[in-house]
């Protein structure tokens, strides 16, 4: 058995990525408008609730960050800056490739239809802001749906790295993570004006880190109790479905690690495949869906049933493009070759 494989995480990522694609299909363009006439309840559900699947990725990211940097909950002794730089490089290559696809897809879609979902032609300042992962912070429109998450993921990783490093002076590093997570859950996550910053999402990320630390059998019950107690108290103060989902995912990971199910179940090839390409799917699906909408308009189609068929084809095409993107761009060996050709040397993060 490959000890690095975690089928439960593969399954969660597979489910989450598919829901995000369906959310964007239900949220943008004439396909969603036409299909809603036939199945308004289904389209409405995907529009309102499927986006909450992003909590799955936030919790998993925190879980894996704790596994990589603080497996026993201790402080980070090495300098945090090389880790943060390597994380940026690891994200940057597929991220930049996805931006190129998004720009090309938007340019072609703009020829075939006039719709507010098509991003405007980027300016140099907008491209620079995206390159720095600061597009939302600096007030620029995103060039593709989902790119905001990459910026937040980088912020979260950098913040956790710095907190673990600060743990050398503050005592128990894991308590710094828990304190920041609690602050987010009780206060910061309740202010939607902060949703361009990592602190807004750190509650879910911190729950993921705590879920990893709960796998230590000597203190598993204590950590699982902390996860449940802090999150439930925050939900009592202000119920948010996104936090309830994050709590459920964190408990599933913590219990899965403690029981051994994390490494054993569900061991299904299709789930493992969809989990592997989930990040690629997250990056590339929007321009594919945009082109499906544009083709629908170009062909002069209007029927709700036809719109549903186009949505299904866009979904399948997104998975196909994501598979190719994973194979030739995102896969570590592929991104390593691209980095080498560009004179870069990304490490593991």
Determine which of 122-131, 145-154, 163-172 has the lowest per-residue pLDDT on average: 163-172
- Tell which phi-psi region holds residue 238, choosing left (phi > 0), alpha (psi between -120 and 50) or beta: beta
pLDDT tier for residue 192 given thresholds of 50, 70 and 90: very high
Question: Rounded to an integer, what distance in angstroms lies between the CA atom of residue 216 and that of residue 214?
Answer: 5
pLDDT > 60? residue 3: no
Residue 35 contacts residue 307 (beta carbons within 8 Å): yes
Which band of pLDDT confidence, cut at 50, 70 and 90, is reported for residue 125? Answer: very high
pTM of the model: 0.94
With a CB cutoff of 8 Å and minimum separation 6, the contacts of 190 are 238, 240
Of 2-6, 72-76, 184-188, give the lowest mean pLDDT range: 2-6
Rounded CA separation 94/330 (Å) = 5
| Token pair of 31 as six digits | 């396909």
2 pLDDT band, cuts 50/70/90, is: very low
Q: How many CB atoms lie within 10 A of CB 110?
A: 16
Long-range contacts of 109-112 (CB under 8 A, 24+ apart): 109/287, 109/290, 109/291, 109/293, 109/294, 111/294, 112/294, 112/295, 112/297, 112/298
Average pLDDT of span 151-155: 98
Can you tell me the distance from the alpha carbon of 120 to that of 141, in angstroms, rounded to the nearest whole number?
Answer: 9
Phi, psi angles (nearest 5°) of residue 302: -140, -20
Instruction: Provide the token pair at 116.
Output: 């507010």
Cis peptide leading into residue 319 (ω within 30°): no
Structure confidence by residue, pLDDT tens digits, 240-253: 999 999 999 999 99
Computed over every residue of the chain, the mean pLDDT equals 93
CA 157 – CA 68 distance, rounded (Å): 11
Contact of 80 with 165, CB cutoff 8 Å: yes
Q: What's the DSSP call for residue 330?
A: I
Residues in the chain: 349
């Amino acid at each position: 058995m490959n000890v690095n494989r975690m089928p439960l995480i593969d399954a969660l990522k597979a489910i989450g990525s598919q829901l995000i694609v369906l959310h964007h299909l239900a949220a943008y363009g004439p396909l969603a408008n036409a299909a809603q006439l036939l199945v308004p309840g289904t389209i409405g559900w995907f529009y309102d609730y499927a986006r909450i699947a992003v909590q799955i990725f936030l919790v998993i990211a925190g879980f894996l960050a704790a596994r990589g940097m603080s497996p026993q909950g201790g402080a980070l002794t090495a300098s945090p800056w090389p880790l943060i730089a390597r994380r940026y490089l690891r994200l940057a290559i597929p991220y930049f490739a996805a931006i190129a696809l998004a720009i090309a897809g938007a340019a072609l879609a703009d020829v075939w239809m006039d719709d507010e979902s098509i991003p405007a032609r980027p300016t140099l300042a907008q491209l620079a802001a995206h390159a720095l992962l600061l597009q939302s912070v600096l007030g620029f429109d995103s060039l593709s749906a989902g790119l905001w998450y990459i910026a937040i993921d980088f912020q979260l990783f950098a913040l956790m790295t710095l907190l673990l490093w600060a743990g050398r002076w503050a005592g128990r590093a894991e308590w710094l993570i828990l304190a920041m997570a609690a602050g987010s859950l009780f206060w910061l996550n309740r202010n939607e004006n902060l949703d361009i910053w990592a602190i807004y999402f750190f509650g879910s990320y911190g729950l993921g880190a705590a879920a990893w630390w709960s796998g230590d059998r000597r203190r598993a019950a204590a950590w699982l109790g902390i996860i449940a107690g802090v999150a439930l108290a925050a939900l009592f103060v202000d119920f948010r479905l996104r936090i309830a989902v994050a709590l459920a995912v964190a408990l599933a990971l913590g219990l899965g690690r403690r029981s051994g199910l994390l490494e054993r179940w569900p061991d299904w090839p299709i789930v493992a495949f969809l989990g592997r390409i989930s990040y690629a799917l997250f990056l590339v699906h929007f321009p594919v869906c945009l082109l499906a909408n544009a083709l629908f308009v170009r062909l002069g189609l209007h029927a709700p049933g036809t719109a549903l068929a186009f949505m299904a084809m866009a979904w399948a095409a997104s998975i196909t493009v994501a598979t190719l993107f994973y194979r030739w761009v995102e896969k570590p060996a592929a991104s390593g070759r691209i980095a080498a050709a560009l004179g870069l040397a990304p490490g593991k993060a």
